[in-house]
Amino acid sequence: MKPEVYYFTGTGNSLIVAKDIAKELDAEIFSISSALKKGTVKTEADTLVIVFPVYIWGFPLIIERFVRSIEKLNEKDIYAIATYGGMPGATINLLDKLIESCSGKLASGFSVAMPGNYTPMYGAIKKKRQLKMFDKWQKRRCAIAEHIKTKGHGIKENSNFFLNFIFSEIINKNSTRYMPQMDKQFWVDEKCNKCGICEKICPVSNIEMMDGKPNWKHNCEQCFACLQWCPKESIQYGKATSKRKRYHHPDVGISDMVSTVKE
C-alpha cells in the first residue's frame, strides 16, 4: 500500500509541506478535518505521515482526536512533521507520548520553520524572510522523505530541555483546555461584506453566518484561518490585529482551503 499523508492547516503552511512530502513519497494525501467526519480512520497503509502546525508549543487539539481515531495504530509506522513560526518546543515529544498512550509509536518527528500567523502577537514577516523559509524547506524535503521511505526511526526534533519544560510542559498543558473558548475574542468590523468565506474555510465548522455576519461556536482550534483569509481583513481578534499584516502561504488559495474542509 502507498503511504498516506494526513494534514491539518489554517494558513496553508502545513498543506504545502504535506503536498511536497506526498509527492516525494508517491503517497495519498488527506485532510484531517475531512477524515474525522468519517469517525474511525480505517486504512491499510502501513506508513502514515501527520503534518500539522505548532500551537502554543504543542499540537492542535484536532491532532489528538485524529490520533485516537486511527484504527490499528500499533501496526503503523507513524511520522510527524510540525510546522512552526516561533519555536517547536516539545511538540514532537508530546505527540510521541500521545501515540504511545494509544499503543502506537512515533517513528520520527521533524520540525519545519514557516512564517508565523499568530496575528494577536505579531504581523506577517517580510516577504524576503518568508522566501528564505520556503527555500530552506525545499532543501530539506528530499532528506525527510528519504528517511520515511527507508523506515527510519529515532529522529525527534524539539527545542532544548529548558524551553521544552517552560513552554510545552507548563504553558501548553495549562492553556490548551481553554482553546475552544478563545474564539470569544474574535469580532468583525464595519468592512465585513457578508461574503461567508470564513464559514466555508473553517476546518472544524466552528463558524456559522447569522444575519450575514460570522458567529463563532466555541469549538475553536485557533488556526486563524478565518482572520487570515478574510478578503476585507474585517475579522479581528482582541485589540491589536486591525493594524497588523495578515499572512497565508502564497502558493495556497481560498479554493484550496475550502477543499480541505469539503473533501
How many residues are listed for the chain in this entry?
263
On whether the CB atoms of residues 74 and 107 are closer than 8 A, the answer is no
What's the pLDDT score for residue 241?
96
Q: How far is the C-alpha of 48 from the C-alpha of 58, rounded, in Å?
A: 20
Q: What is the 3-state secondary structure (H, E, C) of 162-213?
A: HHHHHHHHHHHHHHHHHHHHHHHHEEECCCCCCCCHHHHHCCCCCEEEECCE
C-alpha cell at 87: 519555536
Cβ pair 86, 60 in contact under 8 A? no
**Do residues 18 and 7 make contact, with C-beta atoms less than 8 angstroms apart?**
yes
pLDDT value of residue 38 = 85
What pLDDT, on the 0 to 100 scale, is given for residue 262? 66
Q: What pLDDT was estimated at residue 263? A: 61
User: 91 and 64 in contact (C-beta within 8 Å)?
Assistant: no
Mean pLDDT by 10 residues, the chain (263 residues): 95 97 97 92 95 94 97 96 93 95 96 96 96 97 97 91 72 84 96 96 96 96 96 96 96 90 67
pLDDT of residue 175: 84
What angle do helix axes 254-262 and 13-25 make, rounded to 10 degrees? 70
pLDDT at 184 (0 to 100): 97
State how beta strands 106-113 and 77-84 pair. parallel
Q: Where are the alpha helices (DSSP H) in 49-172?
A: 61-69, 91-101, 127-149, 161-163
Question: Residue 203: its pLDDT value, please?
Answer: 94
Task: Count Cβ neighbours within 10 Å for each residue of 114-123 and write b for 16 or more, e otherwise.
Answer: bbbbbbbeeb
pLDDT at 181: 94
pTM (2 d.p.): 0.95
Name the DSSP letter for residue 75.
G
Tell me what pLDDT residue 165 has: 67
